Amino acid sequence: MMMHRTTVLAAALAALTLAPDGSAQRFGRRGRPPEAQPQAAPQPEKPAENKKVESWTVIQGGDVHVGDGTVLRRTHVVLADDKIHAVGQEVEIPEGATIVDATGKVVAPGFCLPMASGFGAPGGGSDVREGLNPFDPTIKMGLAAGITSFLWTSGSGAGTPGGNSAVVKLAYGDLDGMVCVENTTASMRMPLSAQDLSKFRDLVEQARKHQDAVKEAASKPDTKAPAAPKGTEEILKVMSGEKRLWIASGGGGFRFPGMGGSGSRGFDQTQIRQAMEIASLLGVGVVLDRPIEAWAIADEVAATGSMAVVSPRQRVENDEAAPDTTGSNIAQSAILHAAGVPVAVTTPSGRFGGSPSIGTGGIMGQDLNTPHVDAAFAVRGGMPNRAALRTLTLDSAKIANADRRVGSIEAGKDADILILDGDPLHYKTFVETALVNGKVVYRKDDEPFYRHIRR
C-alpha cells in the first residue's frame, strides 16, 4: 500500500521552527560533580589487522553529521565491507571502490531507536534469534524513515534487574546481519517497597563482596574465582558495565487531558529519586524509562551519571498543589541535555495505552514513518538542533548500550548510514539511500512509499 505524508502532518510540523544551535542555553549548563562523572565513552571496535577487504565503498562529498553534534562539510566516508574505514576530506580512495556521490546531500548515522516493535523481530517472551524475519515488509518502511537498528527487549526484572534484550538491525534480506549485539540491557520497575529495597541493598552488598573476592583470587596463583552469590548475577553485569539498567514506572496509568479517568502522573519525582538511589547503590548511572518529572530534578539525575528516554509529545497534568514542578514539560529534553544527561526520544503512549514503541500504530501516536518528529519536538522545547539528532543516534545507541557498534560515523563502527536530501530533522526531508552493515538496503526511487514525491 502506498504511504503518504499527510498534509496535516506537514502543516503541524511546519510550525515547529527548528531552533538554532545553543537555543537551550537559557537553561544554563549545570556541571555534574567530579565524582559523578559517567564512565569514559567506549571506543569503536578496531578493525582486524591484515583482514582482506572484499568490498570497498566510498560515500563521496556529502555533509556528514557524525552523530555526536559535529558536522563535516564535503567529506568522504570510506567503508570496508561492513565497517567504516575512514572519514575525512582527504582520504585515500581504494582502487576498485564503489563510489556513491553524495554531493549536496546529508550523510548521517542510521537512527538507533530505544523502543520499537515489529521490523521482523518477535514479540516478548521469546529468543530474538528464533523469530527474526529479514523479509518483514515493515523493515523497508522503517528504513524509509531512517531507522537502521532498535533495542528489542523481552521480560522485566520486576524488583531486581532481569529480562532479555538485543539490538536488532533492519538488515533487509540478511538474517545473519540482523542481530547487532545481545544482552545489552536489564530492566526493573519502581516503586520498590521498603522490603524490596532492603533486599536489593543486601544483593548489592553481596555483589560487592563477590567482586572483592574475585580480585583477591586473581592476585593469587592457582586460585579459582568464587561463584557469584545467587540473585546477584544480573546486578554484577550492571555494575561492571556489561549491561545497562533501565528503570521504569510500574504504577498507574497516565492522565490525558479531555480523556477522563484518574490514574497517576506516571514516573514522577518520588519514583525518579528512588531510581537515583538505585544508581547510587550500584555506583553506575541507570536509564530512566520515560520519566515525566525528571526536568524538575535534572541536576539530581545528572549527579548519578544517569540517562533518560523521553517522550517529548507526552502530556501529563501537573499537580495543582505544585503546578511549577510537576507534570510533563515540553522542555524536558532540553533541560536534561543542559544538565549533561544523555537523552533518547520515543513516541508517546497510544490513546488507549500500550507500549510507546515505534510501530505501525499510526494514528495511535506510534507511527514508524516519523521518528524524527519526536526529536523535532525536543527542538521545539529548546534543545539545540545538533543535540536533538543525538537523541536518535549516538545518545540513543549509548542508552541501548550499543555505542561501540552504532550511533555515529567513526572509523571502526558498523557501516549503518543514511543519505538524505536535507536536514535529518526537517519534516520535508526524505531518506534517499540507507546502508546497513555496508550494504544498500533501501533506495527511495526503488520503493513505493515516497518515490513519487520530490522536494
Q: DSSP string covering 160-204, please?
A: S-B-EEEEEE--TT-GGGSEEEE--EEEEEEPPPHHHHHHHHHHH
Q: Which range (174-188, 267-281, 356-370) has the least confidence?
A: 356-370
Q: How confident is the model at residue 291 (pLDDT cuts 50, 70, 90)?
A: very high
Q: What pLDDT, on the 0 to 100 scale, is given for residue 23?
A: 37
Q: How confident is the model at residue 12 (pLDDT cuts 50, 70, 90)?
A: very low
State yes or no: pLDDT of 308 exceeds 90.
yes
* pLDDT (average), residues 117-126: 66
State yes or no: pLDDT of 8 exceeds 60.
no
Q: How confident is the model at residue 51 (pLDDT cuts 50, 70, 90)?
A: confident
* pLDDT (average), residues 109-138: 80
Pairing of strands 147-154, 111-113: parallel
Beta carbons within 10 angstroms of residue 43's beta carbon: 11
Q: What pLDDT, on the 0 to 100 scale, is given for residue 137?
A: 87
* pTM for the model: 0.84
* pLDDT (average), residues 330-344: 97
Q: Which tens digit of pLDDT belongs to each residue from 157-198?
A: 678 999 889 999 999 999 999 999 999 999 999 899 999 999
Q: What pLDDT, on the 0 to 100 scale, is given for residue 143?
A: 95
* pLDDT (average), residues 386-400: 96
Q: How confident is the model at residue 323 (pLDDT cuts 50, 70, 90)?
A: confident
| Beta strands in 306-451, from DSSP E residues, in sequence order | 307-310, 343-345, 417-420, 431-436, 439-443
State yes or no: pLDDT of 30 exceeds 50.
no
Q: What pLDDT, on the 0 to 100 scale, is given for residue 122?
A: 67
Q: What pLDDT, on the 0 to 100 scale, is given for residue 70?
A: 94
State yes or no: pLDDT of 350 exceeds 50.
yes
Q: What pLDDT, on the 0 to 100 scale, is given for residue 347?
A: 81
Q: Which residue has the higher pLDDT, 14 or 267?
A: 267
Q: How confident is the model at residue 19 (pLDDT cuts 50, 70, 90)?
A: very low
Query: Which cell numbers hold the place of 5?
Result: 505524508
Q: What pLDDT, on the 0 to 100 scale, is given for residue 3?
A: 38
The whole-angstrom separation of Cα 184 and Cα 199 is 24
Task: Set out the domains of the chain in order of their start, with CATH numbers.
Answer: 110-406 (3.20.20.140)
Give bridge partners of residue 260 from the DSSP assignment. Answer: none
Collapse the DSSP code of 375 into the 3-class scheme (helix H, G, I; strand E, B; otherwise coil) and give the result: helix
Q: Which tens digit of pLDDT belongs to each residue from 53-77?
A: 999 999 999 999 999 999 999 999 9
Q: What pLDDT, on the 0 to 100 scale, is given for residue 22?
A: 37
Q: Which tens digit of pLDDT belongs to each residue from 207-264?
A: 999 999 999 988 888 888 889 999 999 999 999 999 999 999 875 433 333 333 334 5
The whole-angstrom separation of Cα 165 and Cα 158 is 15
Q: What percent of the chain has pLDDT over 70?
A: 79
Per 3-state DSSP, the chain is made up of helix, strand and coil in percentages (nearest 5) of 25, 20, 50
If you average pLDDT over every residue of the chain, what do you get? 83
Q: Which residue has the higher pLDDT, 107 or 137?
A: 107
Residue appearing with cell numbers 545507541: 397
Helix 194-218 crosses helix 269-282 at what angle (to 10 degrees)?
20
**Contact assessment for residue 357 and residue 347, using Cβ atoms and an 8 Å cutoff:** yes
Q: What pLDDT, on the 0 to 100 scale, is given for residue 262?
A: 34
Is the backbone of residue 239 left (phi > 0), alpha (psi -120 to 50) or beta?
A: alpha
State yes or no: pLDDT of 428 exceeds 70.
yes
State yes or no: pLDDT of 47 exceeds 70.
no
